[in-house]
Amino acid sequence: MKKSLILTVLVFIFASLCLFCIPIQQMSAYSSIFSVAVALIAVIWFYNSLQLQSTQLDEQRKQFQLEFNNIKLESKRNTLLLVKEILIDMDKKVTDELDGIGKLENMLDLFIHKVLPALSNIADTADPNIVMEEIHKCNKILIPINMFLISMKDVFKLILENEGEIISENNYTNEMFVNIYGKKIKNNAFLSKYIGIANSLSGFMIQFKLEVIELASLAVIGLKSPRTLKNEEFISKINEFKNNNNVWVPKIVEVYLESLKTEVK
């Protein structure tokens, strides 16, 4: 603004000097000098208006950026508060569900020393009663573990989505999701107690085919209460498991399949 005023004054002074110096006989030059002066002044003020608009736009951009940063900061703060609430609630529920058989911090040890032996027994046992006992042992550990993994999955999704990460679940199991996305999470005060457990536990669990528990459970139901189970759907599930994993099925499932052949005869 100040520069524009100075330039305008200078143009006016220059035009005045030119008019003063031109002889009266050359009156036609007056209009030309006046036109040029007016044009220069118009250009000066047009340029000044462009600068003013540019300054205003720059100030608006800075204001919008500041507001955006404030919104982003508030969103992050709200996300962390929600994460904290989820973790506190999860910790209490998992501890209650474990019911004294162990602590949240040693769930990996519980999985190794209690679930894996029970899985081995489920795989090798043909007695429905023993199978159900072993399934019950597994569930006492797997239920709190699954509660833990579901909560960690929710926490990871909240944090990553808040950071602009695109989440693709792709029908992942809870342990698969936690194992994949847990590596992208930065540790912080809220997560320090849990993230190591989540990553190590999920990484270990995906190595085992926990679907055998469901198959064994359905086989027991089919043997004890045949009318309550839809045989075609269960056989389809068994075949799908075999095709996807190329592994054996529990002995109790084999017993169930043999019982179907006996019924047909």
Single-letter code of the amino acid located at 56: Q
CB 122 within 8 A of CB 134: yes
* pLDDT for position 121: 92
CB 138 within 8 A of CB 118: yes
CB 258 within 8 A of CB 223: no
Single-letter code of the amino acid located at 73: L
- The 3-class secondary structure across 149-207, one letter per residue, is HHHHHHHHHHHHHHCCCCCCCCCCCHHHHHHHHHHHCCCCCCCCCCHHHHHHHHHHHCC
Report the SS3 class of residue 10. helix
Q: pTM of this prediction? A: 0.70
Taking the chain (265 residues) in consecutive chunks of 10 residues, what is each chunk's mean pLDDT?
58 57 54 60 65 73 68 77 90 91 91 91 91 92 94 91 80 88 79 88 85 87 76 78 72 86 59
